[in-house]
Amino acid sequence: MRTTYVAGNWKMNMDKQSAVALVEQLVKDLRGCKNKVMVAPPFVYLDAVAQVVKGSNVILGAQNMAATDNGAHTGEVSASMLKDLGVQTVILGHSERRYEFGECDELINMKVLRALAAGLDVIICIGELLAQREVGRAEKVCERQLNSALMGVPKEQLERVTIAYEPVWAIGTGKTATPDDAQQIHAYARKVIAKMYDQDAADKIIIQYGGSMNVKNYKELLAQPDVDGGLIGGASLKAETFVPICNG
C-alpha cells in the first residue's frame, strides 16, 4: 500500500514572517496527520522554517539544488548546504526550471544522482507542454523525461524517489487535467518504471499529481488508483487550503 504524499512548493513567495507563521500553523494543524507532508520554502527561509518543523511530522524540502559540489559556482546551493540546514528532500526538474531556466534532461539527471548520493530524497517532476499534448505526445514526453532522470539510479534507491506528474499547461493557469487525464499519465509512468526496473518497483513508487490541485478538486484526483498525492503550488500558501489536501 503506497503512502499518500502531499508536498507544498511555495515557489518565490512569502516573506520570513509569513513563512514562519504558516509553518507554525501547519505543524499545529497536521499533528497526527496520517499522510506524508512536505513543505519547500524559498532558499532564504529554509533555516527559519527548519527551526519550526524540527521534531514535527512536516518534512523540510528545497525547491532545487546545484548539480555540483561546493566550490566556485556563484549563486548556487549545494546538496551538502541543504542537508546542513535540515533539508530532507529536494524537488528536481520542475517545469519552471525546465522551461524558464533551460534545464535539460541531462542536467536534471546529474542533480538526481548527486542528491541521492548526498542522502537527500528527491521529487522528480515530469510533464508535457500543451502543444505536445495536442499532437498526442504527452506519454512519450513523460517517458523520455523519466528515462533520462532515472538513468543510473539503482532499484534500491527508488524508495527515496517520488515522481510528480505536472502537465505544464495546468500549472498556475487555473486549468487542471481531468481525473481521467491524470490517471492515464500516472498509469503510463508506472508502466515506464516497470519496464526500467520491474513491476514491484512500479507498484511501490509514489506518483504525485502537480497541476493546480486545490481544495475543490483534490478528492477526485486522489481517488484515482495511480494518483498517490499532490505537489501543490498556490494552494500550499495558506493553511486553510493546504491542510485539507494533506489530510486527504
Active-site residue list = 94, 166
Q: Are strands 36-40 and 206-209 parallel, antiparallel or unpaired?
A: unpaired
Question: Distance between CA atoms of 189 and 178, rounded to whole angstroms?
Answer: 17
Integer Cα distance of 143 and 14 in angstroms? 34
Closest by alpha carbon to 248, among 232, 229, 225? Answer: 229
Contact 209, 221 (CB under 8 A): yes
Alpha-carbon distances, residue 196 vs 43, 112, 160, 188 (angstroms): 33, 16, 16, 12
* DSSP annotation string for 148-216: HHTTT--GGGGGGEEEEE--GGGSSSS----HHHHHHHHHHHHHHHHHHS-HHHHHH-EEEE-SS--TT
Residue 57 C-alpha cell reads as 511530522
Residue with cell 528545497: 62
- CB burial class (10 A; 0-12, 13-18, 19+) of residue 156? exposed
What's the rounded Cα separation, in Å, for the pair 11 and 172? 11
Would you state the cell numbers that stand for residue 49, as one nine-digit string? 522554517
